[in-house]
């Protein structure tokens, strides 16, 4: 897999480059600002990009906006956004779940992989690589913290779910596949499928198979 | 029977025994009523008050009646009249302070002193000018004049009732010439006349306590009225003041917000990134251990260790910039010494504080010095710095003087932020930095309670 990294802190950029390289991922370019990031993506056509939300010059959300541009212009490229803080508002903008604009919707429809993780997760190589592979493969990776923000914000209808169903819903929202959910909860795949159909029935969601669409459905329901 | 007779008997015995002490007690009670006031502390306090006030009033009158025309005359000739006027009003101010102290200590009435001029009213010289020659001072001068007649009457009361009364009372004992003594220009002789005068003297003495206390009370109240009244600021001045307060409040809010953003940026760019880098190095080290390559893992752990140390150092310096713990624990002197030790340019700290200022003033004084020293280190090219802190309980004055190249920009972000913080406590920041130096930064911070 080939990736392009955009991260303004030299320290983190170098570390990330080495870490990915040592894990067998080719880092095609590692840059420090949004403009050179977009140029690098254009030139390298990577399988996935890793972007920090805050980039120069204003250090507000340049990285996020650059990520949206990538999603719109190169829909086949998986986008993994890293941030010191995760905000569900950023997550929904990124996923285009709320339909902020035609570009977002188009990107969502084309099923480009997208992920949004707390920067802390880079300390866990397996987790990071799993997320990166998921977004490169067109899936999603949402930080559990964002998911829990969404789950707590939406109150009452979720009360009808059992504790186990809520666990499954959270993992689904993170972008996990049925198999991954089964492995995490140490249950059989059949049990997971049963839970999922119960959740979809209780929340009145149309049943769907593809992981990414499933995430969007869940997020749409959660009011994201 | 014996019991029935016993009570009248014993009662009679008791009343006989008690009759003499009862008479004595009545007599001593009468004596206390009549002579008690003559010797009571309150009476003599009042006498002392009246006696002490008279010379103060006289001095004030003399200074004003002689000094003012001279000063005004000089004013017409040359500007030397201005220092003379300032001197006259300063003496009057001193007399007023003594009058207030005297009225509080002996007259038992607290006379409020006029509030100090606000530091931030207009240009830097205006509050000082108003302090020296302003309307409040002229009001005090008028008060001194208004006080004078009452002080004179008080003095006369003491003279007539105490000295006159005592003199008349002892007249019969006076071994005067045979043809009698002169009293009000007429000769008085013969026992009846002398006895009548002595009796009048005793009456004066007996009345003296009441009259004295009354006069003292009138003088104390009058003093509070004429010296305790401060000029109410006019509508215009109040409007100006409100404008200033709104302005300084807005600046403080902005400065606070900018400060929080700066802290967030510092944390984000510094310690947080180091910790992220550290977790990555540790993760890579884990992978190396798993791959049974302990030497490479060891090198990565060393790197992570270095990151942790650097993150700690960054957090430490950030905390010091937010609020140095030593400032709240040990006060300004200790905190400034620590600051001086960190400055690359040699710094002498000379702190002399009568009392510990309020925490807000301490913090602002600290940041004034911190910012000034940062600027000195960055721009001034100075070889030495002297930091001075003076506090008299009412104002803390902070000075930072360097021998550098000068030409500091008061509108620069750091100094402008400082000025806003200083203005928030009604203080004033002045920066004197001519091209070529030296630079003197002064902050005056009132310790309002």
Supply the pLDDT for residue A154.
Answer: 57
Q: Are residues A44 and A116 in the same domain?
A: yes
Residue A197: name the closest of A178, A179, A224, A216 by CA.
Answer: A178
Q: How far off is chain A from B438, nearest CA to CA, in Å? A: 37
CA B213 – CA B317 distance, rounded (Å)? 66
Q: Cβ of A119 and B283 within 8 Å?
A: no
B268, B269, B281: residue with CB nearest A15 = B281
Supply the pLDDT for residue B1.
Answer: 39
Indicate the residue among A111, A142, A173 that finishes a domain: A142
Give the residue carrying structure tokens 């009132």. Answer: B446
Q: What is the largest CA-CA distance in chain B?
A: 136
Give the β-pairing of B181-183 and B186-188.
antiparallel
Residue A126 near chain B (CB below 8 Å): no
Distances (CA, A) of A110 to A95, B64, B70, B96: 12, 95, 97, 88
Give mean pLDDT, residues B128-155: 86
Bridge partners for A114 per DSSP: A79, A140
In this predicted structure, the answer to whether residue B181 has a pLDDT above a threshold of 70 is no
What DSSP letter does each residue of B368-399 carry, written as one string? HHHHHHHHIIIII--S-EEEEEEE-SSEEEEE
On the 0-12 / 13-18 / 19+ scale of CB atoms within 10 A, A64 is: buried
Q: Are residues A24 and A135 in the same domain?
A: yes
Separate counts of helices (H) and strands (E) for chain B:
15, 7
Q: Are residues A12 and A93 in the same domain?
A: yes
Give mean pLDDT, residues B10-15: 50
Supply the pLDDT for residue A211.
Answer: 64
For helices A144-153 and A163-174, what crossing angle results, to 10°?
130
Separate counts of helices (H) and strands (E) for chain A:
11, 6
Q: Are residues A75 and A161 in the same domain?
A: no
Q: Which residue of A has its CA nearest to B280?
A: A123
pTM metric for this prediction: 0.56
A11, A23, A123: residue with CB nearest B274 = A11
Higher-pLDDT residue of B34, B319: B319
Q: Cβ of A9 and B286 within 8 Å?
A: no
Indicate the residue among A113, A142, A171 that finishes a domain: A142
Give mean pLDDT, residues B330-337: 88
Positions of chain A with pLDDT under 70:
96-112, 152-157, 207-213, 216-217, 220-224
Domain count, chain A: 2
Kindly report the backbone phi and psi dihedral angles of residue B4, in degrees, each rounded to the nearest multiple of 5, phi listed first. Answer: -70, -30
Q: Cβ of B283 and A18 within 8 Å?
A: no
Kindly provide the ipTM of the predicted complex, given to two decimals.
Answer: 0.72
Q: Cβ of B279 and A120 within 8 Å?
A: yes
Supply the pLDDT for residue A101.
Answer: 46
On the 0-12 / 13-18 / 19+ scale of CB atoms within 10 A, B22 is: exposed
Q: Spell out the residues 6+ positions from residue A84 whose beta carbon is closer than 8 angstroms to its own.
A: A53, A54, A118, A119, B268, B272
Query: For residue B279, which residues of chain A lie inside 8 Å, CB to CB?
Result: 120, 122-123
Rg (CA), chain B: 38
Supply the pLDDT for residue B11.
Answer: 52
Q: Are residues A102 and A209 in the same domain?
A: no
Q: Are residues A124 and A169 in the same domain?
A: no
Q: Are residues A97 and A64 in the same domain?
A: yes
Q: Are residues A35 and A95 in the same domain?
A: yes
**Secondary structure (3-state) at B33:** helix
Give the β-pairing of B428-432 and B439-446.
antiparallel
* Chain mean pLDDT for chain B: 83
Supply the pLDDT for residue A121.
Answer: 87
- Contact between B107 and B156 under an 8 Å Cβ cutoff? The reply is no
Segment B198-234, tens digit of pLDDT: 888 889 888 888 899 999 999 999 998 888 877 766 7
Q: Encode burial over B78-100: b for 16+ CB neighbours within 10 A, e otherwise.
A: eeebeebbeebbebbbebbebbb
In this predicted structure, the answer to whether residue B319 has a pLDDT above a threshold of 70 is yes
Residue A60 near chain B (CB below 8 Å): no
In this predicted structure, the answer to whether residue B25 has a pLDDT above a threshold of 60 is yes
DSSP at A164: H
Q: Looking at domain B330-446, which of 1.20.140.10, 3.30.565.10, 3.40.640.10, 3.40.50.300 is its CATH number?
A: 3.30.565.10
**Secondary structure (3-state) at B185:** coil
Give the residue carrying structure tokens 């001029």. Answer: B117
Q: Which of A7, A10, A12 should be substituted to probe chain B, the one whose Cβ sees the most B Cβ atoms within 10 Å?
A: A12
What DSSP letter does each residue of B222-263 carry, written as one string? HHHHHHS--PPPPHHHHHHHHHHHHHHHHHHHHHHHHHHHHH
Q: Which of A23, A118, A123 should be substituted to probe chain B, the one whose Cβ sees the most B Cβ atoms within 10 Å?
A: A123
Tokens of B384: 């030495």
Supply the pLDDT for residue B124.
Answer: 66
Supply the pLDDT for residue B4.
Answer: 45
User: Long-range CB contacts (< 8 A, 24+ apart) of B4-11?
Assistant: none
Query: For residue B276, which residues of chain A lie inside 8 Å, CB to CB?
Result: 9, 11-12, 15, 119-120, 122-123
From chain B, which residues contact A within 8 Å (Cβ)? 265, 268-269, 272-274, 276-277, 279-284, 286-287, 307
Q: Band the pLDDT of B5: cuts 50, 70, 90.
A: very low
Give mean pLDDT, residues B56-61: 91
Q: Cβ of B281 and A59 within 8 Å?
A: no
Q: Which of B269, B277, B278, B280 should be substituted to probe chain A, the one whose Cβ sees the most A Cβ atoms within 10 Å?
A: B280
Indicate the residue among A90, A108, A142 that finishes a domain: A142
Question: Which domain covers residue A134, as residue numbers?
Answer: 2-142
Sign of the alpha-carbon dihedral angle for B11, B16, B17, B21: positive
Q: Which residue of A has its CA nearest to B285?
A: A19
- Contact between A224 and A88 under an 8 Å Cβ cutoff? The reply is yes
Bridge partners for A48 per DSSP: A3, A78
Supply the pLDDT for residue A112.
Answer: 64
Residue B49: name the closest of B114, B138, B142, B111 by CA.
Answer: B111
Supply the pLDDT for residue A100.
Answer: 46
Peptide bond just before B21 cis, omega within 30 deg? no
Domain holding A41: CATH number?
A: 3.40.50.2300
Q: Are residues A135 and A37 in the same domain?
A: yes
Supply the pLDDT for residue B378.
Answer: 84
Supply the pLDDT for residue B149.
Answer: 92
Q: Spell out the residues 6+ positions from residue B147 whose beta carbon is closer than 8 angstroms to its own.
A: B53, B57, B60, B99, B219, B222, B223, B226, B227
Give mean pLDDT, residues B306-318: 87
What percent of chain B has a predicted confidence (pLDDT) above 90? 22
Domain holding A154: CATH number?
A: 1.10.10.10
Supply the pLDDT for residue A132.
Answer: 92
B273, B277, B283: residue with CB nearest A125 = B283
Tokens of A129: 């690589």
Q: Cβ of A9 and B273 within 8 Å?
A: yes
Q: Are residues A57 and A129 in the same domain?
A: yes
């Amino acid at each position: 897999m080939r990736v392009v990294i955009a991260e303004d802190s030299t320290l983190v950029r170098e570390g990330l480059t080495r870490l990915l390289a040592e894990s067998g991922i080719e880092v095609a370019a590692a840059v420090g600002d949004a403009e050179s990031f977009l140029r690098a993506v254009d030139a390298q056509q990577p399988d996935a990009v890793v972007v920090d939300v805050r980039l120069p010059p204003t250090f507000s959300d340049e990285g996020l906006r650059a990520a949206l541009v990538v999603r719109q212009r190169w829909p086949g490229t998986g986008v993994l956004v890293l941030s010191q803080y995760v905000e569900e508002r950023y997550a929904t903008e990124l996923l285009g779940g709320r339909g902020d604009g035609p570009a977002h919707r188009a990107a969502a429809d084309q099923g480009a992989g997208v992920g949004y993780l707390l920067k802390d997760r880079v300390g866990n190589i397996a987790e990071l690589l799993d997320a990166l592979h998921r977004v490169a493969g067109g899936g999603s990776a949402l930080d559990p913290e964002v998911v829990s923000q969404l789950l707590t914000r939406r109150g009452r209808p979720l009360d009808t779910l059992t504790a186990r169903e809520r666990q499954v819903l959270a993992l689904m929202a993170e972008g996990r596949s049925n198999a991954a959910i089964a492995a995490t909860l140490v249950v059989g795949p059949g049990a997971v499928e049963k839970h999922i159909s119960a959740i979809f029935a209780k929340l009145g969601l149309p049943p769907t198979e593809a992981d990414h669409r499933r995430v969007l459905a869940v997020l749409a329901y959660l009011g994201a | 029977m014996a019991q029935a007779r016993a009570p009248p008997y014993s009662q009679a015995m008791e009343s006989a025994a008690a009759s003499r002490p009862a008479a004595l007690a009545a007599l001593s009670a009468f004596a206390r009523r009549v002579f008690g006031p003559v010797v009571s502390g309150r009476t003599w306090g009042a006498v002392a008050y009246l006696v002490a006030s008279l010379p103060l009033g006289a001095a004030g009158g003399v200074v004003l009646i002689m000094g003012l025309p001279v000063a005004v005359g000089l004013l017409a000739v040359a500007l030397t009249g201005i220092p003379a006027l300032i001197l006259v009003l300063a003496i009057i101010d001193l007399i007023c302070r003594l009058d207030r102290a005297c009225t509080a200590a002996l007259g038992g009435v607290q006379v409020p002193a006029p509030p100090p001029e606000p530091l931030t009213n207009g240009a830097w010289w205006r509050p000082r000018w108003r302090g020296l020659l302003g309307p409040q001072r002229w009001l005090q001068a008028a008060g001194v004049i208004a006080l004078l007649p009452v002080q004179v009457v008080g003095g006369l009361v003491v003279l007539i009732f105490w000295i006159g009364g005592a003199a008349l009372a002892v007249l019969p004992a006076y071994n005067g010439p045979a043809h009698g003594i002169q009293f009000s220009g007429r000769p008085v002789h013969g026992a009846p006349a002398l006895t009548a005068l002595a009796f009048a003297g005793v009456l004066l003495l007996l009345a003296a306590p009441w009259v004295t206390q009354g006069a003292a009370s009138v003088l104390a109240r009058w003093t509070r009225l004429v010296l305790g009244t401060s000029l109410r600021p006019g509508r215009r001045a109040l409007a100006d003041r409100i404008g200033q307060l709104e302005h300084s409040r807005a600046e403080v809010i902005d400065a606070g917000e900018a400060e929080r953003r700066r802290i967030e940026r510092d944390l984000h760019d510094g310690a947080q990134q180091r910790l992220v880098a550290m977790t990555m190095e540790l993760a890579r080290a884990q992978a190396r251990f798993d791959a049974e390559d302990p030497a490479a893992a060891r090198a990565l752990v060393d790197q992570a260790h270095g990151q942790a140390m650097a993150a700690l150092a960054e957090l430490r310096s950030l905390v010091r910039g937010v609020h140095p713990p030593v400032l709240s624990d040990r006060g300004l002197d200790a905190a400034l010494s620590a600051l001086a030790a960190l400055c690359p340019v040699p710094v002498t700290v000379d702190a002399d504080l009568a009392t510990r200022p309020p925490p807000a003033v301490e913090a602002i004084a600290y940041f004034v010095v911190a910012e000034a020293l940062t600027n000195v280190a960055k721009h001034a090219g100075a070889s030495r710095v002297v930091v001075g802190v003076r506090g008299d309980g009412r104002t803390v004055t902070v000075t930072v003087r360097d021998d550098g190249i000068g030409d500091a920009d008061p509108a620069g972000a750091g100094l402008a932020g400082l000025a806003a913080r200083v203005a928030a406590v009604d203080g004033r920041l002045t920066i004197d930095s001519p091209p070529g130096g030296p630079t003197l930064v002064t902050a005056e911070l009132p310790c309002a309670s």
